[in-house]
Structure 1
């Protein structure tokens, strides 16, 4: 468990200050509400003890002038723990409860209108479950139009907006529910709402989300900042971190961990049998395991949106090895050439019995390397200094450096095949094939990739692939997203626009050929390839 960030105060019975009684008023208000799906007598709203502690912690502590101390709540909950119901209940406190502000504006914000509408319908359900409330509200809920609830007495509104609707400047919300922030498109809506809320003295922002993927989003920034507050690294009482998340290396199959990270399990939700079914599937599939860890344990995933691998499993193959001891062994090389300004990867796969050892080489233009590092969000400069990447002089890749690298590998190992993706490959393939080196084309379509990815996944899961923990190669694998067609065939693509997967592509080319342990002419290579076409 992430013990340093876990909200122990929810369970430890510690006193929660409530000098003006606002926490008690909030709890009493919610206990008077009804919910259409409730199984309690009279359809009473179910406010379980862990949820009640959260409500008291948000609304109880106050400054001497009576203003609320907490201005931002970061609620990270795995799927199925009724965070939408709790968030809708909080919205009701600000729409017609003791936290309302006359003519105030409450907002449900999400990635799209459909997602935002879920919270809206939850709040509307709470209102309509009590017939006494109906006369006090006007509801605008027409199909494909703006959704809004107005509390007539004080002209308070609750409205739905989405991140695909633009920046939404000009708003001054007193309450915002930012739902599933990790899937929002860009930062415009977040910036508009957060700056709008800063115009007033006592706003409340509730970020209610499961964990996301990657570290290039506003959601990651918000959650990481909340973690610093939870650990005590940052002193900011205006932020309340409520982070139910497991560590990346925790035993994901431990039911005690499931119950700790999912507070609703003690009260019958989500389904424990559903957990067990998903866990059984995760034992057989890396992608299911990634899904289980992200959605049910709130482990923030790596960059890819549809991952090829559980990067924790990948990392288990990262023990250092003595590359010099492999000299002379059979070797297959995969080459993913790029345009003259992007990353080029050469990956040698050396086979020693049933084990496969990777020796990756990467190339980028040396000019503006820092700008490229800023663009892609990775330490190219440090990698170059550490010898993990070759920065060739000038503003384009020197293809002669790539050719020289491949020739050096051919001198060291018994190279059986040099597989190229045809794109941009001619300047390097021609001289190599002219000298009689075993050059071939490895096609990139699903007919070639899908069986090759199966082989690569198999050797990784068997701990038979050894990559030595090479940082650029790991970054490439973490960026991989998988497209699966209706027949179950898989192909690699980039999970985000700035991610590079060249090293992963070169790896599947090399490893799949090494596993086949054959020279040109297998299903992975192009049997019609004529090297003479590329002789310079």
Structure 2
């Protein structure tokens, strides 16, 4: 069995006094796998691996006076090693074994992320016939009437969390917290509890937060390192980190195995072999090797986009998605079309409909001709069967309202991390796997070459090479949005092909 890369010491005596074995027995007797995976079939009872059992025995150790040894913990492991199931099981155990009137919380950078662990816990309870009748299950809360205890899910608006009294807090993906405010609020709120515990379960991310200083998670990581080196004495802080050392070869299967406790068990070896070929290095290092990164990376490797060129165009009447990224002054506006694949072997084709860029000799008062933009969108809808017009609602609300009132299928696609991170990844994979084609438009190639991959606490997405750079990336952003929607189920009904504007 492999060992964690970093681990704070816990004595055998404290482990023997702890609740680790009790927790494992409870989980394996009542809690079930919630979805089919490499680790087990949905509906089967949980079976902890030896490394997981050891983790909980250390985490739930007790001091000689009978109290929990740890008040705060940071547990880091690469993705797909069962973090959600681990967090959910711990939350349920804390609800059942905790004090009367106990309060358990799942927190994360946003509520949807926090609901991942909470949702897994809810499914575990619903799938356990011995337990289901003992709980009241709601959308954002689970109550245990016998003890008056409750388990809730919370988001990152820390100012709304005053007045809580948690005895157990499970923080998912600590690296994504924009600041340390929520963590500190929950920590201070638990001060009146006899045995409070905060457990952060996370992958690595970027070292700095939005202010440019060390992020909450990286700061805790460094704190754990100092404890291990003997620079700080804090027996109440537990730190367990699975990952690869800095400088390790991210292409080496031996590194994959050492960094991932569930390698070739919970997560398959084939998945690593495939993902290393199509995932940007910075993203691969944070998510698969649990390493910290700090720099922006060039997005597409040299020649990758050229290899996808077919020179073809999308035939009139084809089902397509339009991607639109607009500006008003001193920037560019882009309209891209992507064909919707008709089958598994059909490659989406990407082409440029129109682009408006500030001429080099124009003054700073130059602005985009809004009416020209709207007419180009209408022309595209006459030429193709447009399933969706995907656009960021920022600044162009009037145009979207007008076009939508004419019956055009406007779909808002805010360029938020939750949208752009997976869309950026899909586009990258399609290019690297050559499952997408393009016409060879030099404007789109230029915008793509201007992109860098910037990784922050929310993930990796497109950016200019520097803030205020004159290099444009709007066609690239439009293409990323359009491909994402072309490969998904439509949100609105398509506009009939070759309609008459007089009929609208």
Report TM bin, short chain.
0.5 to 0.7
Q: How has the CA–CA distance of structure 1 residues 231 and 270 changed in structure 2, closer, same or farther, with 3 Å as cutoff?
A: farther
Runs of at least 5 residues in structure 2 that lack an aligned partner in the other structure: 210-214, 301-359, 365-440, 473-504
Aligned to 2:449: 454
Aligned to 1:106: 104
Q: Distance in 2 between matches of 1:207 and 1:483?
A: 25
Q: How has the CA–CA distance of structure 1 residues 454 and 253 changed in structure 2, closer, same or farther, with 3 Å as cutoff?
A: same
1:184 aligns with 2:182: no
1:120 aligns with 2:92: no
Per-residue CA shift, 1:476-506, capped at 9, x if unaligned? Answer: x999x9965xxxxxx6066xxxxxx57xx59
Aligned to 1:492: 464
Measure how far apart 1:5 and its partner are. Answer: 4.8
Measure how far apart 1:204 and its partner are. Answer: 1.0
1:273 aligns with 2:270: yes
Measure how far apart 1:46 and its partner are. Answer: 2.0
Q: Contact 1:112–1:162 at 8 Å: present in 2 too?
A: yes
Q: Contact 1:77–1:210 at 8 Å: present in 2 too?
A: yes
Report the RMSD for the aligned CA atoms in angstroms. Answer: 3.7
Q: Which protein shows a greater Rg?
A: 1
Aligned to 2:208: 215
Q: Contact 1:4–1:231 at 8 Å: present in 2 too?
A: no
Aligned to 2:133: 135
Measure how far apart 1:270 and its partner are. Answer: 1.7
Per-residue CA shift, 1:284-313, capped at 9, x if unaligned? Answer: xxxx11111111011112155xx4369xxx
Measure how far apart 1:78 and its partner are. Answer: 0.8
Q: Which has the higher helix share?
A: 1
Q: How has the CA–CA distance of structure 1 residues 79 and 193 changed in structure 2, closer, same or farther, with 3 Å as cutoff?
A: same
Q: Contact 1:110–1:184 at 8 Å: present in 2 too?
A: yes
Runs of at least 5 residues in structure 1 that lack an aligned partner in the other structure: 142-146, 283-287, 311-418, 424-445, 458-476, 485-490, 495-500, 510-536
Secondary structure at 2:105 match in 1: strand
Q: Contact 1:18–1:24 at 8 Å: present in 2 too?
A: no
Secondary structure at 1:116 match in 2: helix
| Superposition pairs of residues 36-115 of structure 1, within 5 angstroms | 36-37=34-35, 39=40, 43-60=44-61, 62-97=62-97, 100-115=98-113
The one of 185, 197, 206 equivalent to 2:190 is 197
Q: Contact 1:482–1:492 at 8 Å: present in 2 too?
A: no
Q: Contact 1:79–1:295 at 8 Å: present in 2 too?
A: yes
Q: Distance in 1 between matches of 2:460 and 2:128?
A: 47
Per-residue CA shift, 1:310-339, capped at 9, x if unaligned? Answer: 9xxxxxxxxxxxxxxxxxxxxxxxxxxxxx
Q: How has the CA–CA distance of structure 1 residues 44 and 478 changed in structure 2, closer, same or farther, with 3 Å as cutoff?
A: closer
1:27 aligns with 2:24: yes
Q: Distance in 1 between matches of 2:108 and 2:119?
A: 13
The one of 264, 284, 287 equivalent to 1:295 is 287
Higher RCO, 1 vs 2 (CA within 8 Å, ≥6 residues apart): 2
Q: How has the CA–CA distance of structure 1 residues 16 and 88 changed in structure 2, closer, same or farther, with 3 Å as cutoff?
A: farther
Q: Distance in 2 between matches of 1:8 and 1:187?
A: 22
Q: Contact 2:282–2:455 at 8 Å: present in 1 too?
A: no
The one of 142, 145, 150 equivalent to 1:157 is 150
1:247 aligns with 2:245: yes
TM-score (norm: length of structure 1): 0.54
Aligned to 2:167: 174
Secondary structure at 2:161 match in 1: coil
Aligned to 2:298: 308
Secondary structure at 2:194 match in 1: coil
Q: How has the CA–CA distance of structure 1 residues 478 and 157 changed in structure 2, closer, same or farther, with 3 Å as cutoff?
A: closer
Q: Distance in 1 between matches of 2:151 and 2:288?
A: 30
Q: Distance in 1 between matches of 2:273 and 2:226?
A: 33
Measure how far apart 1:257 and its partner are. Answer: 0.8
The number of residue pairs the alignment matches comes to: 325
Measure how far apart 1:223 and its partner are. Answer: 2.0
Measure how far apart 1:180 and its partner are. Answer: 0.9
Per-residue CA shift, 1:363-393, capped at 9, x if unaligned? Answer: xxxxxxxxxxxxxxxxxxxxxxxxxxxxxxx
Measure how far apart 1:422 and its partner are. Answer: 8.9
Secondary structure at 1:201 match in 2: coil
Secondary structure at 1:74 match in 2: strand
Q: Contact 1:107–1:160 at 8 Å: present in 2 too?
A: yes
Q: How has the CA–CA distance of structure 1 residues 482 and 296 changed in structure 2, closer, same or farther, with 3 Å as cutoff?
A: closer
TM-score (norm: length of structure 2): 0.57
Q: Distance in 1 between matches of 2:278 and 2:175?
A: 25
Q: Distance in 1 between matches of 2:451 and 2:176?
A: 30
Q: How has the CA–CA distance of structure 1 residues 154 and 290 changed in structure 2, closer, same or farther, with 3 Å as cutoff?
A: same
Q: Contact 1:84–1:122 at 8 Å: present in 2 too?
A: yes
Q: Distance in 1 between matches of 2:64 and 2:363?
A: 70
Q: Contact 1:172–1:197 at 8 Å: present in 2 too?
A: yes
Measure how far apart 1:158 and its partner are. Answer: 0.5
Measure how far apart 1:34 and its partner are. Answer: 2.6
